[in-house]
Amino acid sequence: MKIAMIGSGAAGSVFAAYLRRGGADMYLVDKYKAHMDKIAAEGLTFRCRGEECVLTGFHTAETAAELPEMDIVILMVKATQTDEVMPEVMHCVGGGTVLCSLQNGIGNDEILKKYVPGTRIMYGAGVIGTELAGPGCCVSKPEDGVQMFFGAVEKSPETDAAGRYLAECFERGGCHTSFEDDVRVLLWKKAVTNSGYNAVCAVTRLRLHYCMDNEWGMKLLMNVWREGCAVAKALGVGDIWPLIEGDIANLRQNLGDYYPSMAQDAVLKHRQTEIDVLNGAIAMYGERLGVPTPYNSVLADLIRCIQANYANQYGEANG
């Protein structure tokens, strides 16, 4: 099967590396020209747990409009950019193409339903810290246990075939994968966990272990997580608190030195964050369901204020 990775930055490159190492025919799409050119000329350098290899055989493009028809299209642009890129993506989507969102956040499946039927949509996420060390070089920092999970929005022969193929390629590539009948529990667990460490690290400007090792930082994380769990339960997803609580030590050990993507966006790169599909989405569902979410609401508003005022921040444009 031909697989397109739409958005081949840090996470997209790491996911593509696992798939390529597992034998998949990969088409990488990204506007970072130096990165695409390096991969096309020399291959993708893949680092994971102290080991390094160079993977070749990728096809690269600046836009999805340059691609032939794909069997599977994986969305890895930021969730806030999905509607922006989908008109180009549809050039490589045929009548049997399956779309798969492995993006952060909640609600990505609803966006994709505007473009193809639910019977041709999968969604999930990776439990992997990722970095782009430079053009043509990506770094994977996986947690222990299941590192990738996904499932169908609406079960169908198309999603069954695509899901089995992705799972086989990820597994052969060294990424432990779960192809689920109902992925909502794992998806919400990932989104709620992400909402905690992404927003708290972005506001405090700290790597994760500094937050987890501090009384007040850990208090913030725990309250964000508990609110998200309460919303998930009210929504009928189930009780995800035992999953989050049981993963705290693993999170500290494997991602403690990680500077999360929202912190990178808000502090280093000054670009739009994914706050609206993380803490913002938890707060939105909480308001709709009558579940209080004060910590998520305040953190969402703080990040929104920060990202609206990058040019005005003290110590930069205004001295």
> Do both 106 and 204 map to the same domain?
no
319: in domain: no
Question: Do 131 and 219 belong together in one domain?
Answer: no
In a domain, 271, yes or no: yes
Which residues are registered as beta bridge partners of 177? 148
Q: Residue 174 sits in a domain of what CATH number?
A: 3.40.50.720
Select from 182, 198, 216 the last residue of a domain: 182
Tens-of-pLDDT digits for all 319 residues of the chain? 999 999 999 999 999 999 999 999 999 999 999 999 999 999 999 999 999 999 999 999 999 999 999 999 999 999 989 999 999 999 999 999 999 999 989 989 999 999 999 999 999 999 888 889 999 999 998 877 889 999 999 999 999 999 999 999 999 999 999 998 889 999 999 999 999 999 999 999 999 999 999 999 999 999 999 999 999 999 999 999 999 999 899 888 888 888 888 999 999 999 999 999 999 999 999 999 999 999 999 999 999 999 999 999 887 555 4
If one counts every other C-beta atom within 10 angstroms of the C-beta of residue 145, the result is 11
Last residue of a domain, one of 182, 217, 251: 182
Q: Which residues pair with 73 in a beta bridge?
A: 4, 99
44 and 166 both lie in a single domain: yes
- Residues 206, 262: Cα–Cα separation, whole Å: 11
- 247, HSE (Cβ side, Cα atoms, 13 Å): 21
- The reply to whether 276 falls in a domain is yes
- The total of structural domains in the chain comes to 2
User: Could you tell me the pTM of the whole model?
Assistant: 0.85
Map residue 19 onto helix, strand or coil.
helix
Q: How many CA atoms lie within 13 A of 15 on its CB side?
A: 34
Q: Do 100 and 159 fall into the same domain?
A: yes
Q: Is residue 268 part of a domain?
A: yes
Q: Considering 131, 159, 182, which residue would you say is the last residue of a domain?
A: 182
Q: Is 165 exposed, middle or buried (0-12, 13-18, 19+ CB in 10 A)?
A: buried
In a domain, 135, yes or no: yes
In this structure, the answer to whether residues 160 and 230 fall within a common structural domain is no
Is there a domain that residue 318 lies in?
no
Same domain (yes/no): 174, 251: no
Say if residues 72 and 98 touch (Cβ distance below 8 Å): yes
Tell me: do 138 and 15 sit in the same domain.
yes
Same domain assignment for residues 137 and 13: yes
- The phi, psi pair for 206, rounded to 5°, reads -125, 150
* DSSP per position, 191-214: HHHHHHHHHHHHHHT--HHHHHTS
Q: Based on the domain organization, do 212 and 124 belong to the same domain?
A: no
Q: Give the amino acid at 220.
A: L
Supply the angle between the helices 279-289 and 184-204 in degrees, to the nearest 10.
120
Expressed as residue numbers, the domain containing 209 is 185-312
Do residues 190 and 264 share a domain?
yes
Same domain, 302 and 159: no
The answer to whether residue 317 sits within a structural domain is: no
- Residue ranges of alpha helices (H) inside the chain are 10-21, 33-42, 82-89, 108-112, 157-172, 184-204, 208-212, 215-235, 241-246, 248-255, 261-263, 279-289, 294-307
User: Are residues 61 and 27 part of one domain?
Assistant: yes
CATH number for the domain spanning 269: value is 1.10.1040.10
